[in-house]
Structure 1
Amino acid sequence: MTDLISIILPVYNCDQWLTNTIKSVQKQTYSNFELICVDDGSTDHSLEIIKRIMASDHRIKLICEENLGACYARNNGVSYARGSYIAFLDGDDLYAPDFLQANYDAIKKYKADVSMVNIIQNDGTNEFLWRDIKVMGNNTEVFNEYAEGNICNRVWNKLYRSELVKKVPFPEDQQYVEDAQWTPRIMEEVNRMVRIPKGYYHYIIHQGSLTHRNSRDSKWKKRLTEYVGNVLEGNTVILKYTTSKDGRQKSYGIP
């Protein structure tokens, strides 16, 4: 028997892409999953799309909430998750067909708490130049790799043992780049991790996305301040554990 995997999908006004996002989950070669869609008060057709698709697929679940942000939606989804493992997905991105299988096989083979895959960019190339499978056998090795820039903050290119995620809630007062502080905190709970060089997660950047907005936009400036705060908080955790002198100097300028 294979383990149940819970996939948490926060949804907010992404009806342009949502059908393809959900289909990428339905096409997974690893079929023992539940997809928990958390509608975060969408005002477009996102909710209709979810209801239509879930009518013919019992693996898709729906939670509706008022608009409280992605962190609250993720925490809400995690609270309903029944799987032994948890993965995340954004409403405009795509899983490669073997995203779940590749992560699950790696976790089982290397007895890891977390598996991480490379990220496929818009042009089809991998974001990171990882060459080989890397197994980090203890907490110190995990944070040394982190300090040297070999672990990314993104929450959604990983598969986690569910008990780890349930220990570390997302910061609900944060709305932008919250993963910069959440991922280091989850890594505090990790004893063994595996990194896969091949890309299995399609990160889609759209025109007009938040990261491309005018820097003079007042909301952008507020979120940029939030971003800096989250990065600093995350870096504090990393520096607490890393013993890598090269990593400390390279990433943070600390001897």
Structure 2
Amino acid sequence: MSQEINLDKLTTEATSNYNNLDKMSIKEILEGINNEDKTVPHAVEQAIPQVEALVSEIVPRMKQGGRLFYIGAGTSGRLGIVDASECPPTFGVPFDLVIGIIAGGDTAIRKAVENAEDDIEQAWKDLQAYDINELDTVVGIAASGRTPYVIGGLNTARANGILTGAISCNKGSDLSKAAQYPIEVIVGPEFVTGSTRMKSGTAQKLILNMISTSVMIQLGRVRGNKMVDMQLSNYKLVVRAENMVMRELGIDKSLAEALLQEHGSVRNAIDAYRAAH
């Protein structure tokens, strides 16, 4: 289907603002990349109303038991998997509440799977393996906004009454048209022409951070500004949890440690102590 693609019209494929990269010094390369990266937060800021609209629809569904799915290919798919995989340790939610799916399956996380992104029907098949239903949300991620795997998944999900969102870096893309709540972050040409793992990938990561974090806060998974439900899965996190409990309750380290060992989380430790005092 390559003959159907007109990359010249895509902002993400526009020629870099820099030329002769291969003649630059290391310092010039690094400064050029950094200068381009500085533009990303402003582009993300312009998309906040679109992010808010999507999150406002996700939250009530998840309060009723719905799940959040990310689907993508290549870098976009990997970013969705990263965000999903960080939700359980950060917010103490089940591993299957936020789910990242990549074209080509788990093999594609580390190694590109040939032509996987071009299968317009496979994303829906992948979603069906999770018994997807009308309380769930599917967010498609594609910098170009034209990845068939993602567009096909959103179109079929939407046709089945499932809430759909999209994250892309081109205006008016087919992906945006497929989603009920599209998010478009227009970051402009990449430092290396067409290398959307750079600014586009950074923008997508920032948007994913915003979506999952705001959803989890709305679901009550943060108290004040603390990750009170985080998993105590390594020494650093245990120490962080002890410090949270000590500061919140005004107690010493040994008591905080004992409370955490007994109750398993910052939230439960604090609540149990207060209930007893």
State the TM-score, normalized to the length of structure 1.
0.28
Q: Could you say which structure has the higher helix fraction?
A: 2
State the TM-score, normalized to the length of structure 2.
0.26
Q: Could you say which structure has the higher strand fraction?
A: 1
